[in-house]
Amino acid sequence: MKNPNILIPFRIFPIIVLVLAFCSPLHAQHPGGFSPEISGKAIRTVMRAVADWQIRNFNSVKHHPLDWTNGALYRGMMEWAKISGDDTYMKWLYEIGNRHAWQPHQRMYHADDLVVSQMYLEMYLERTDDPYRYRILAPTQARLDYVISHPSKGSLYIDYRDPQSMERWSWCDALFMAPPVYVRMANITGDKKYLDFMDREYRETYAFLYDQEEHLFYRDYRYFPDKKREANGEKVFWGRGNGWVIGGLASILDGLPKESEYRPFYIRLFSEMAEKVAACQGEDGFWHASMLDPESFPKPEASASAFFCYALAWGVNGGLLDRVKYEPVVRRAWQALVGAVYPYGKLGWVQPIGENPKNVTADMTEVYGVGAFLLAGSEMLKVAQ
């Protein structure tokens, strides 16, 4: 007679396989107990888990601490630090900035090397009781002042063999990295020159990379329709690239004074992009690596989805987007994103570093995806209220 204790695992094995399959981030709404409920408690719980996992695993991330990848993480972590009720996160960010003397990254003109200053300037505003807080502000202000006084004569035709072609905002990601820093500096100093420079450079990039028919941005000129097309014949619009742009627009508008002469242009652009972005959302709540060819890129893409969720939720909360039309979009997006979080806090389905649509797998993650997720959560808390 066979030992029944030996047979039991084989009897339940198919059930275990089925359970594991539906507990993966792609299939489950809340693996590991993370509730998709749009409530303050549920949102805070998953935000804390994601933030804590990233901090625990930060030393294994192979990026310079001041790299753009981490700069995007710090931007989201700062928003979480403000609302978490736990000074652990603010201390973690302060230690990073202080260790690097609050310097932006190395390249004087490169937008990617300025994004870390978004966290710096927020830290400056937070530390009102610090008599030496000007040391937080000074390096970024010196960088901006030099660039404004010595504007680059580089081309918008990006060429990685020519560093000067990266001195302008010649790729769409740059519109997230640099412009919000100029806006925040203008607010802090009261000096309009920062807004004037930002607006002039932004409009040049807008005129060059924005498609007036599709209301989306090309990543750079190499993706213009006469150069590249998707497999279905559509124009190539990268999901995360447009996530960078509309996420940057939310940050710009959040800082632009209500009476600013520049505000109407950015409101119109934000509204146009928001309508197109919402129309591209998948039935599962995610967006894909390609905005107009989801069949070639059917997997979820969490970094684009998180930036879109953040920007659209910000628009709803700020009254720029119709709540009846857009709140269901951001609710679906957030619930999808929560479903991409592993039980231990890792955010999956994040496209690796790149410049065009690429396929993604469930175990892929990156720090900028976590930054976007925390930005989205900070706005979803307001939606929940």
Model pLDDT, residue 33: 66
Predicted structure pTM score: 0.92
Q: What is the pLDDT of residues 112-141, one digit of tens each?
A: 999 999 999 999 999 999 999 999 999 999
- Supply the residues annotated as catalytic: 173
Check: CB of residue 351 under 8 Å from CB of residue 358. Answer: yes
Confidence of residue 358 (pLDDT cuts 50, 70, 90): very high
How many other C-beta atoms can be found within 10 angstroms of the C-beta atom of residue 290?
27
Answer yes or no: is pLDDT of 19 > 70: no
Which spans in the chain are helix H? 4-22, 40-56, 68-83, 88-99, 116-126, 134-149, 174-177, 179-189, 193-209, 239-255, 263-279, 302-317, 323-338, 367-384
Give the CATH number for residue 209. Answer: 1.50.10.10
Q: What is the pLDDT of residues 245-286, one digit of tens each?
A: 999 999 999 999 999 999 999 999 999 999 999 999 999 999
Using the Cα atoms of residue 325, residue 330, residue 335 and residue 337 in order, give the sign of their dihedral. positive
Mean of pLDDT values over 369-375: 98
* Conformational region of residue 102, where left means phi above 0, alpha means psi within -120 to 50, and beta covers everything else: left
Number of domains comprising the chain: 1
Q: What is the pLDDT of residues 39-66, one digit of tens each?
A: 999 999 999 999 999 999 997 678 999 9
Domain containing residue 312: 4-384
